[in-house]
Structure 1
């Protein structure tokens, strides 16, 4: 279960570097993932 979390975190970091405008939707996606788990 830790590996997918790391992958999602890495993807979020990439989103921050490439698309600063989409940081908020990225965090919303993380919240949804946490609720799913």
Structure 2
């Protein structure tokens, strides 16, 4: 169990330490697809 009770999330073959990190990854992926970054 982690210090802050975060649950690891697997997305696109990556393992993130929290659900918030995985959501941020999805946001960045969307921006990259739209050519914003």
- TM-score calculated relative to the size of structure 2: 0.46
**Higher RCO structure, 1 or 2 (CA under 8 Å, sep 6+):** 1
- TM-score calculated relative to the size of structure 1: 0.46
The structure that has the greater radius of gyration is 2
Q: Identify, as 1 or 2, the structure richer in strand.
A: 2
